[in-house]
Amino acid sequence: MINQLQRRFMAHLDPMLLGALGALMLISLILMYSASGGSMERVLGQLVNVMVAFAALWLVANMPLHYLIRSAVPIYIVGMMLLLGVAFFGEIQNGARRWLNLGVATIQPSELMKIAVPLMMAWYFERHEATLALKNYVVAALILAVPFALILRQPDLGTALLICASGFYVLFLAGLSWRVILGLFISAAASAPFLWHALHGYQRQRILMLLDPTEDPLGKGYHTIQGMIAVGSGGILGKGYLNGTQTHLEFLPERTTDFIFAVFSEEFGLLGNLVLLSVYLFIMWRGFVITANASTYFTRLMAGSITLTFFTYAFVNMGMVTGILPVVGVPLPLVSYGGTSMLTLSLGFGMLMSIHSHKTLVQS
Amino acid sequence: MMQYKELKNNQREIYFFRLRLILSLVFVLVLAFILLARLVYLQVVRQSDFATLADKNRISVVPIVPNRGLIQDRNGVVLAQNYSGYTLEISPAKVDNLEATINALSELVSIQAKDRKRFKKLLTESHTSNSYPIRSRLSEAEVARFASQRFRFPGVEIKARLFREYPYRDRTSHLIGYVGRINDKDFAELEKSDLAENYRGSDYIGKIGVEQSYERELHGTTGFEQVEVDAAGRGVRVLSRTPPQSGKTLTLTVDIKLQEVAETAFGDFRGALVAIDPSNGEVLAFVSKPGYDPNLFVDGIDTETWDALNNSLDVPLNNRALRGQYPPGSTIKPFMAIAGLDTGKRTPSYTISDPGYFTLPGNRHQYRDWKVGGHGRVDMFKSIVISCDTYYYGLATDMGIDGVHDYMEKFGFGKKTGLDMEGESAGLLPSQDWKRRRFNQIWYPGDTVSVGIGQGYTLVTPLQLAYATAILANNGVGYRPHLVKLSSSSTDPSAEPPKPPVDIDIHLKSEYLDLVKKAMIAVTLPGGTAAWAGSGASYQFAGKTGTAQVIGIKQGEKYVEKDVHERHRDHAWFIAFAPADKPRIALAVLAENAGHGGSIAAPIARKVIDYYLLGKVPPPPQPLKIKLEAEHD
């Protein structure tokens, strides 16, 4: 009886993927205790986030695929409306208009677009699967470009770039011709100087800091320098759990959120990093397997985009902490403190599991 | 057919999709490799660099200021000490509106206009520390009041620290000097001599006197504490500690009781007294009157008090014993007598007939003796006892100015004695060469005449004259005067100090010394110029009076003390040593505008020697009556 219940409960969950995601979340909880300086409040908060995320993952994983397809347009429209709402009525925090107060809760609609944009694009390509022409790619690109522009205006460069990446992965997997890709890269490179002018002062600073963080060690370069010191001083074996001096003496900024990777690196060293990187790569491998075996055009595009976007998150965050990318405010997926990011990612993984399990069910 | 084509398309599609997926996988792996390479670079290649940076972040080296050494007199009486107390300090960088903050503070803690001025002066003088005291020596009640309101005053804090205190106040001001807060100039000096590191955390430095000249010994060695700090700079725990080494306790050669006796003996007169032990150069008393309260300077002096001290006609800030330069007057005569004998210009029996004045050959100008009508027949012995001017006019003329210069130099005139205190004046011993350099003029024979009686260009400091007297008392052998006891070894402070090296040795014949010393004893006996001061002494007391002119007297005029403005009256000198056969103390007394040496200066010397040799404490001072009709020198 219990066995049967358990089987029913686990029916749509992919054990390997779930194991890897669980491992990251466990690392997150363990690390949260150290990063917050021993605050159980922070750990319990993250535990709640994990449980909410798991519930969302289970729900989506159990959802039949056609629900997903049907939900694409409404989610996208709601997301766009919320984004426009932010642009007109949004709350300003830390100099950026990113939040929308709905009375019950303050939400960040750009997070929702991380799912909504690839979903909508995949839905669009699925609809025009038989007669794909260049114009379809242009329309798909517009589906991406409008929210991208709105989020860039908030301004939130990090989220905008990640959404752009997730949309681009859909375009790429949908078979955008190499010539167009090449053309895009060339025009992007050519317009770089113009884009530079369009960037906000603080965004430019962050890029400049990357080139030479020591120029302003107590100002804008502080995050990067302290992050690199934490990572570097960790060495091969790390300083040991709860022993990171950069972390516990509070030299490291944003310890529980964007710079949690520095906490991990300082305390667990290169060996720990190899383990962490392996977990991410394992999730990638599993995502690729699911993508490769996905039965429909929509699911293939969706699964591929979710998988690649997930890795992009991880790479951008680690790159920013280790000083090879500018500080753009991207959390370490499933490890950094934060409910929204964890929820969005879990929704993605729920879809991935749904794609996998429902395909299997259909075949059997 | 249609179905087949679709199927084929589908397969082609899957083929292309998987190709792109594989490309994506390659992309992911490339990124992962870049990340890994970066991690290896940071965590392996540059690990030690970043570990150093992490340590630099967290480890702060906090200096521990050593306790300043005490200063005590030769008998162990403490003259400079430390006591702990509280200061209220403001860090100007952390305070937006200084004026408003000080106003608000003044409601809790008494802050007077004087304190505000002192604080402002500190701000302009020093830029090396980050916080400055607005008030020091807070009472417990004030500390409690501030502590309860502390949250209102960011950048203001109470600090517990050691204060320097001089319990004898103006009695020791010119001897010990004082410490003061390190200003920009002091800091530059410290950096120049590579001592700045040892003064990290120190607020005070010796500014003048013994506090200055023995700064290195008194300061001690700063200790250090390695403290782990967090990003906000708060100390978390101590990692290691190098304790500070307290400054050495200095034992002076001065006897503070003797110093008190001497100061009291001066009464209301300004002046200086230096007493030296001729057998080893130890300075027994070092007085310059008036003094000032050195405690005023420790935490910065306010402008008003400073101006009052600095502009006072009595110049209390001037260390007369060390820096005051006066004509030696007749106190030069015993030294001139030795010079005359030793250079062969005079014999003990050589006698002159004193008409009451001296003239140079071919010149009608009369150089007057102090006694109108003269002393009659005068030999060397008598010339000292009755202080005959005419005798020494002639002697100086016979020796020539350069002869006088060269011989007087042997007694240490015209150069610094090398006392262990900074700022000493060298006095002036004129010569032909000096006049040419100084005025670009040739030396006239007339210039020489008055040099013989210690007037003219000659200038000495009380210290120099005391040292010369000590050399004479010790039969021509001089030991450099010093204020701090020479310690034999650091391990055994109670051991007898070593005999200092001989500084000056004039090889003098004992018959010359006997003659001059006997004459100096006769000075304090009936018939001598200091007979009054010497009466009833139970020991042999050798001395010589002197008068230093403050204003010149025109040819044919008579100096009448009553008619001269008080500050233009002559300075009184007295030099002495005792007991004459085996001198234990030699001294020089200068009383400014006191008239003649015999009546004012000699009794001061007598009281000092009485106390030093007999332990006799003089009765409490009575208003001094200036005996105008006393015998002249």
Judge whether residue B547 has pLDDT over 80.
Answer: yes
Nearest residue to B448 via CA among B400, B414, B512, B505:
B400
Instruction: Tally A–B CB contacts below 8 A.
Output: 116
For residue B611, how many C-alpha atoms fall within 13 Å in the half-sphere facing its CB? 22
Residue B115 pLDDT grade (very low, low, confident, very high; cuts 50, 70, 90): confident
* Interface residue A175 vs chain B (CB under 8 A): yes
d(CA B298, CA B312) in angstroms, rounded, equals 21
User: Quick check: helix, strand or coil at residue B232?
Assistant: coil
Q: Which long-range contacts (CB under 8 A, 24 or more apart) does B145-148 make?
A: B145/B108, B145/B109, B146/B88, B146/B105, B146/B108, B146/B109
Report H helices in chain A.
2-10, 15-35, 40-62, 65-89, 109-127, 134-153, 157-173, 178-190, 192-198, 201-211, 222-234, 245-248, 260-292, 297-321, 339-363
* Interface residue A259 vs chain B (CB under 8 A): no
Q: What is the mean pLDDT of residues B201-209?
A: 90
To the nearest whole Å, the CA of B44 is away from the closest chain A CA by: 6
- pLDDT at residue B596, as a whole number: 73
Residue B227's DSSP bridge partners are B60, B238
Nearest residue to B91 via CA among B34, B9, B158, B141:
B158
Nearest residue to B232 via CA among B56, B58, B54, B53:
B58
Judge whether residue B581 has pLDDT over 60.
Answer: yes
On whether the pTM is more than 0.90, the answer is no
Nearest residue to B548 via CA among B328, B306, B321:
B328
A105 vs B107, more confident: B107
- Find the range with the poorest average confidence among A169-173, B299-303, B347-351, B514-518: B299-303
* Interface residue A342 vs chain B (CB under 8 A): no
B44 contact residues in A (CB cutoff 8 A): 235-236, 270
DSSP letter, residue A153: H
In our burial notation (b when 16+ CB lie closer than 10 A, e otherwise), range A216-239 reads eeeebbbbbbbbbbbbbbbbeebb
Nearest CA in chain A to B38: A322
> pLDDT tens digit string along B325-358?
999 999 999 999 999 999 999 999 999 999 999 9
* Interface residue A269 vs chain B (CB under 8 A): yes
User: Which residues have CB under 8 Å from A147's CB, separation 6+?
Assistant: A79, A80, A83, A110, A113, A116, A117, A163
**pLDDT-above-90 percentage for chain B:** 54
Check: CB of residue B156 under 8 Å from CB of residue B90: yes
DSSP letter, residue A215: G
Residue A191 pLDDT grade (very low, low, confident, very high; cuts 50, 70, 90): confident
Backbone angles phi, psi at B172, to 5 degrees: -115, 10
User: Which residues have CB under 8 Å from B132's CB, separation 6+?
Assistant: B89, B90, B92, B119, B122, B123, B126
- Count CB atoms within 10 A of the CB of residue B38: 18
Domains belonging to chain B, first-starting first, are 61-92+107-146+155-252 (3.90.1310.10), 321-479+498-601+619-630 (3.40.710.10)
Angle, vertex CA A241, rays to CA A238 and CA A247, nearest 5: 80
> pLDDT tens digit string along B137-157?
888 888 888 888 888 888 888
A172 contact residues in B (CB cutoff 8 A): 20, 24
What residues of B are labeled active site?
Answer: 330
Q: What is the mean pLDDT of residues B83-90?
A: 87
* Interface residue A228 vs chain B (CB under 8 A): yes
- pLDDT at residue B196, as a whole number: 84
B123 vs B211, more confident: B211
DSSP letter, residue A242: T
Among B20, B32, B50, beta carbon nearest to A232: B50
The encoded tokens of residue A310 equal 């997930």
Residue B161 pLDDT grade (very low, low, confident, very high; cuts 50, 70, 90): confident
The length of chain A is 364
Specify the DSSP element, H or E, that contains B158: strand B156-165
Q: What is the mean pLDDT of residues A344-359?
A: 91
Judge whether residue A122 has pLDDT over 90.
Answer: yes
Look at B40 and A270 and tell me if their CB atoms are within 8 Å: yes
Q: What is the mean pLDDT of residues A292-299?
A: 90
Check: CB of residue A290 under 8 Å from CB of residue A14: yes
Among B16, B17, B231, beta carbon nearest to A250: B231
To the nearest whole Å, the CA of A44 is away from the closest chain B CA by: 26
Judge whether residue A265 has pLDDT over 80.
Answer: yes
Judge whether residue A220 has pLDDT over 60.
Answer: no
User: Which residues have CB under 8 Å from B161's CB, separation 6+?
Assistant: B84, B85, B86, B87, B203
> pLDDT tens digit string along B223-247?
888 888 888 777 788 888 889 999 9
Look at A173 and B24 and tell me if their CB atoms are within 8 Å: yes
Nearest CA in chain B to A311: B28
B53 contact residues in A (CB cutoff 8 A): 229, 232-233
> pLDDT tens digit string along B404-419?
999 999 999 999 999 9
Output the average pLDDT for chain B.
87
d(CA B378, CA B384) in angstroms, rounded, equals 10
Q: Are strands B132-136 and B78-90 parallel, antiparallel or unpaired?
A: antiparallel
- pLDDT at residue A243, as a whole number: 92
B42 contact residues in A (CB cutoff 8 A): 228, 231-232, 322-323
d(CA A53, CA A22) in angstroms, rounded, equals 11
d(CA B523, CA B272) in angstroms, rounded, equals 22
Judge whether residue B2 has pLDDT over 50.
Answer: no
Nearest CA in chain B to A233: B51
> pLDDT tens digit string along B482-515?
999 876 445 555 556 677 888 889 999 999 999 9
Among B24, B34, B57, beta carbon nearest to A308: B24
> pLDDT tens digit string along A31-73?
999 999 888 999 999 999 999 999 999 999 999 888 888 999 9
Nearest CA in chain B to A285: B25
Among A251, A304, A319, beta carbon nearest to B231: A251
Residue A228 pLDDT grade (very low, low, confident, very high; cuts 50, 70, 90): very high
User: Quick check: helix, strand or coil at residue B273?
Assistant: strand
B39 vs B365, more confident: B39
d(CA B139, CA B86) in angstroms, rounded, equals 8
Judge whether residue B121 has pLDDT over 60.
Answer: yes
Cα distances (angstroms) measured from residue A166 to each of A152, A172, A279, B23, B112: 15, 10, 21, 16, 71
To the nearest whole Å, the CA of B228 is away from the closest chain A CA by: 9
Check: CB of residue B327 under 8 Å from CB of residue B548: yes
For residue A52, how many C-alpha atoms fall within 13 Å in the half-sphere facing its CB? 15
d(CA B279, CA A334) in angstroms, rounded, equals 90
Among B20, B43, B231, beta carbon nearest to A231: B43
Q: What is the mean pLDDT of residues B311-320?
A: 91
Judge whether residue A80 has pLDDT over 90.
Answer: yes
> pLDDT tens digit string along B460-486?
999 999 999 999 999 999 999 999 987
ipTM, two decimals: 0.92
- Count CB atoms within 10 A of the CB of residue B163: 18
The encoded tokens of residue B226 equal 């390695």
Judge whether residue A325 has pLDDT over 70.
Answer: yes
Angle, vertex CA B576, rays to CA B570 and CA B580, nearest 5: 155
Interface probe with A: pick from B8, B30, B43, most Cβ of A within 10 Å: B43
Check: CB of residue B426 under 8 Å from CB of residue B372: no
Judge whether residue B542 has pLDDT over 50.
Answer: yes
A297 contact residues in B (CB cutoff 8 A): 13
Look at B46 and A281 and tell me if their CB atoms are within 8 Å: no
Check: CB of residue B566 under 8 Å from CB of residue B527: no
The encoded tokens of residue B597 equal 């040496």
Look at A235 and B44 and tell me if their CB atoms are within 8 Å: yes
- pLDDT at residue B493, as a whole number: 52
To the nearest whole Å, the CA of B229 is away from the closest chain A CA by: 7
